[in-house]
Amino acid sequence: MEKRFKTRDRKWTVMSFRGFLEELHQAGLMNEVQTNVSPNLEIAERAWGSGPIFFNNADGNRCCLNLLGNRDLLARCLGVAGPDMVRHLSSVSYEGQVKEVDSMPFQECVSEPDLTRLPIMTYFAGDGGPYITSAVVAAKFDGKINACVHRLMVIGRDRLAARLVPGRHTHQFYQAAISRGEELPVAIAIGVDPLVLFAASTRVPPEMEFQYASSLRESSVKLLHLDNGVPVPEAEIVLEGYITGERVPEGPFVDITGTRDLVRMEPVIRLTRMMTRETPIYQGLLPGGGEHKMLMGVPYEPLIYRSVSKVAKVKNVLLTDGGCCYFHAVVQIEKESEEDARKAIEAAFQAHGSLKHVLVVDTDIDIYDPQDLEFALATRMRGDEDIVIHPNVRGSTLDPRSVDGITTKVGVDATSRLDKLWKFQRVTPKGMG
């Protein structure tokens, strides 16, 4: 967990993927590697623990990783101070405007699909194969559009195995198409504006991902409709194809926990066309790394914030690094009644179904400081009164301690008692509080 945010400079003018890379270069934040590296394990080893990193020669290709690897980078893209990011995200409208266009730079090179031409990475020994991990996958069914981020395992020159989470919109589209005897048209965009990638990682109302991205960017996302009818944003690389009825084993894959997810039977994407810029820059995403956490975990923070705001005076929300930026939430409230903390706990669980543990604290606790959080637990929580336990409830299959996704959830009220505030105030040389 980062104790303090450091990036409070001007907002980056991010209007494209390459524009973002240039901003990172100009800010002195990009680590460049000139020597040849292999996409098979070596890139992941070099990128592990690094900030934004650019490889100029990945077996003859250019690629980058860790572009949004911490809260500073994401906050700067959004033009806010780090501690204000959740409040900002919770206030952004989902209803931005998109702009349809007739051409895009990724049409410079159009060819038959051949995934061997791309530096698609095998990240860890034991992975099921090379994985595309940073692509926005757009799908279209009955005129409806969905955009999401799915991991895609390479199983051939023109074939991918896609992890589709049951109940999510892409999976719903896929099931509906297959039930009609149809294949689901998709477009896979690699190397997109970071805020488009963030929007596609966020749980928003149906068909609103690109509109939400426009609101985040404060400018319209441009979309081009491909031959299969699916709209796609500006990108370095675009793969056009269809999700078929064929299913194959997908995995193993290291997920956000840094542990291996299950191997499942998942559908196959049949690619029909590959489009790239003349000298494309491939973007990878290190499984279990900081960028994975920023894109998979942080989008839940504004959802929790909105949910808690309906029952208590919420000030901030954090999914902690130690909780994989996914399982553990800290909710900061301005307490007005003794029931507020418990209401906040239940609202947080309702907003993010994969949460295991929720800690509610007062406004004088620095939620980014683990020692402050431990202080709240040590001095403001009593085990027989302030702990809420929900056994045998639906959680996440990513939790190694769950059984088929069933787990126990725990909420902790570590707030001061309102009738005895004087007992909980911290004394400093400057006075109380």
∠ Cα 404 296 80 (to 5°) = 150
- The answer to whether the beta carbons of residues 2 and 70 sit under 8 Å apart is yes
Order across the sheet with 231-233: list the strands: 98-100, 221-225, 231-233
Active site residue 384: no
H/E stretch holding 77 reads helix 71-78
- The answer to whether the beta carbons of residues 97 and 14 sit under 8 Å apart is no
Helix (H, G, I), strand (E, B) or coil at 134: coil
Q: Helices in 146-258 by DSSP H: which ranges?
A: 169-179, 194-200, 209-217
CA atoms of 98 and 134, how far apart (whole Å): 22
Say how many C-beta atoms besides its own lie within 10 A of residue 234's C-beta: 23
Say how many C-beta atoms besides its own lie within 10 A of residue 238's C-beta: 30
Q: Which residues contact 16 (CB under 8 A, 6 or more apart)?
A: 193, 234
Tell me which of 127, 158, 255, 386 is the catalytic residue.
255
Using alpha carbons, list the distances in angstroms from residue 335 to 76, 313, 328, 340, 371.
30, 7, 21, 6, 21
∠ Cα 280 285 286 (to 5°) = 135
Q: Helices in 310-369 by DSSP H: which ranges?
A: 340-351
404 sits in the region (left: phi over 0; alpha: psi -120 to 50; else beta) called left
Residue 284: closest CA among 401, 212, 410, 190: 190
Helix (H, G, I), strand (E, B) or coil at 416: coil
H/E stretch holding 44 reads helix 42-47
Say if residue 160 is exposed, middle or buried (CB neighbours under 10 Å; 0-12, 13-18, 19+): buried
Catalytic residue list: 255
